[in-house]
Structure 1
Amino acid sequence: MSRWSQYSLNPVDGILLLDKGLGISSNRILQQVKCLFNARKAGHTGSLDPLATGLLPLCFGEATKLSQYLLNSDKRYLTTFKLGETTTTGDAEGKLISQKAVNISSRQLESVLNKYRGIIEQVPPMYSALKKNGQPLYKLARKGIEIRRKPRSVEIFDLSLLAFDDELLTLDVHCSKGFYIRSLAFDIGEMLGCGAHVIGLRRTAAGKFDVRDAVKLEQLEEMDSQQRLQQLMPVDAGIDDMPRVSLAQDASDYFRQGQTVRTDEAPQVGLVRVYSEDVCFIGIGEALEGRRIKPKRLLSTNN
């Protein structure tokens, strides 16, 4: 990038709710949107596979400092499984591994689904961005290398059967962070004895954000720069579940400098979102004993 192009980039700050289309990677669409906004800095809060569509919150500028807290939020998916077939990737992009006849009753299916409600142990798929010795598992998988993955505790808050027609199974899944729908398809297929893989996946919610409030790339492309900026949510939009604390001018100045401050508004423990007395969002703090708040993640002072 030239020196001129670096200086011509805009200091865009905020969160954009994007409705990702089919067949494009999360990183590629992020770069396209970043270019549309002419933004200096941008990142997403949890990737979607090219096969998947739906909600992809994008963070710009100072909002990228809070992206980790959005990554930790629960997710909701609408997904369709093809029963009777397994693939190398666990979805429709992979090569077919096995085929079996499907002869399953609704009662059998519901009995299996009951086993996947609540806290479960889930083995992540090989085709994932998880790393082994610094290398993503999907790169090893493409070389035909499979390594043992440790099961991880995840939670399904709600698992609703929307449709079951012969070989197609459609579910609404509300799950915790770190959950893999492809692993759920594989596990359910194993329990049913016929195998299964994902043929449709749409993220409908992430934390408090809903895909119905999201904008498509094509819509952004038709907007002018001012209209695009109007699509951005405030930097702190994704953390309003945290308790709010307002600091007096002196305390907020010390807090901005990285110092622990005392305030009667502080809760006993936990993370808080911190504001100055002029209602300017400063960052995230950690409540300590003695009504003290320690800076955890600070925004730039010019925001």
Structure 2
Amino acid sequence: MNQIKRVKRDVSGWVVLDKPYDMTSTEAVGKVRWLFAARKGGHAGTLDPLATGILPIALGEATKTVPQVQDGRKVYRFTVKWGEATATDDAEGAVTETSPVRPDAAAVEAVLARFTGTIEQVPPAFSAIKVDGERAYDLARAGETVELAARQITIEELRLIEHGADQSSFEVACQKGTYVRALARDIARSLGTVAHVIKLHRAAVGPFSDADAVTIEALEAAAEGEARDALLRPVWAGLAGIPEIRLDPHQANAVRHGNPVLLTGATAPVALDEAWASFKGVAVATGHVEAGQFHPRRVIL
């Protein structure tokens, strides 16, 4: 008997997924889209299969706000194993180098300041960065030598949270483009040893954190329909980190048609690089403010 095809629907909102271990970000999006029968979906920032934690998944109109979430501050907790380097800088790859050096807590603490602020980082060879049109990890898996250029990244905070003879755990708050596997690799090198990441958890992305997260099991357990939809966060939740412009009915109508509107009132902003407009608590558009006018970039239906 042929399986009945599910009818797709125009559902919009955010699922702040606590991604499980050994699931790709693409698989997670597919699973969530299937559970909500959503026509459209995407994620804000890839998580490696071996990583757990916050994977914001946008459905429907929320996909228009993915850049604002993806560009937001991220917090990771990670554990490194000292004395072994791997091809992938995590537990998935083969060991490529060993070292007898095991740094003590004081030595680890002493080098962390070098990795705080705006620093240069060479991404891992096993990464999604494109080299001559090909993903670096595809080239690396094919046995090719991958040489990636150093990039500037911003580390806001980095601290040691637990230390042992063979393993140490850290928490880092950083901006987009940071590779935690490369950070662990470089910290180890600065200590005269090698290491790789054995556990990685993303605790926050932009406005979303562990406190907002929902598991696949919770989504599956919720009855299809209103009960499951209640686990969705509104489209505007992804925009909580940027200024909000509240529109009146006439302004909202103009913005929905892609037109700029003059902002009035004593507190109206004159210029903003990024903002979002709302009407009665519903997101209408993302855009910017110039010369006292809100200019929509993307209209949210």
* TM-score after normalising by structure 2: 0.93
Q: Give the corresponding residue for 1:235.
A: 235
Provide the C-alpha distance between the structure 2 equivalents of 1:246 and 1:263, rounded to a whole number of angstroms: 9
Q: Structure 2: which amino acid aligns with 1:270?
A: D
- Count of aligned pairs: 294
Structure 1 stretch 53-62 or stretch 241-250: which is displaced more?
241-250
- Correspondence list, 1:20-35, <5 A: 20-35=19-34
Q: Is the 8 A contact 1:274 1:283 kept in 2?
A: yes
Provide the C-alpha distance between the structure 1 equivalents of 2:188 and 2:219, rounded to a whole number of angstroms: 39
Q: Is the 8 A contact 1:43 1:64 kept in 2?
A: yes
* Runs of 4 or more consecutive aligned structure 1 residues displaced over 6 Å after TM superposition: none
Q: Give the corresponding residue for 2:300.
A: 299
SS at match of 1:200: strand
Q: Structure 2: which amino acid aligns with 1:268?
A: A
CA drift at 1:208: 2.2
- Correspondence list, 1:1-303, <5 A: 5=5, 8-225=7-224, 226-264=226-264, 265-276=268-279, 278-289=280-291, 291-300=292-301
SS at match of 1:284: strand
SS at match of 2:156: strand
CA drift at 1:197: 0.4
Provide Cα deviations, 1:170-218, integer angstroms capped at 9, x if missing partner: 0011111111000001101111111110000011111221113211111
Q: Is the 8 A contact 2:78 2:199 kept in 1?
A: yes
SS at match of 1:40: coil
Provide the C-alpha distance between the structure 1 equivalents of 2:86 and 2:282, rounded to a whole number of angstroms: 51
Provide the C-alpha distance between the structure 2 equivalents of 1:54 and 1:196, rounded to a whole number of angstroms: 22
CA drift at 1:258: 1.6
SS at match of 1:111: helix
SS at match of 1:34: helix
Q: Structure 2: which amino acid aligns with 1:69?
A: Q
Q: Is the 8 A contact 1:47 1:56 kept in 2?
A: yes
Structure 1 stretch 265-274 or stretch 12-21: which is displaced more?
265-274
Provide the C-alpha distance between the structure 2 equivalents of 1:266 and 1:102, rounded to a whole number of angstroms: 56
Provide the C-alpha distance between the structure 1 equivalents of 2:105 and 2:255, rounded to a whole number of angstroms: 58
Provide the C-alpha distance between the structure 2 equivalents of 1:70 and 1:263, rounded to a whole number of angstroms: 25
* TM-score after normalising by structure 1: 0.92
Structure 1 stretch 262-271 or stretch 24-33: which is displaced more?
262-271
Where does the alignment leave 5 or more consecutive residues of structure 1 unmatched? none
SS at match of 1:76: strand
SS at match of 2:115: coil
Structure 1 stretch 106-115 or stretch 202-211: which is displaced more?
106-115
Provide the C-alpha distance between the structure 2 equivalents of 1:279 and 1:217, rounded to a whole number of angstroms: 28
Q: What is the CA RMSD across the aligned residues, in angstroms?
A: 1.6
Where does the alignment leave 5 or more consecutive residues of structure 2 unmatched? none
Over 3 Å counting, the alpha-carbon distance change for 1:280 and 1:199 in structure 2 is closer
Provide the C-alpha distance between the structure 1 equivalents of 2:242 and 2:94, rounded to a whole number of angstroms: 44
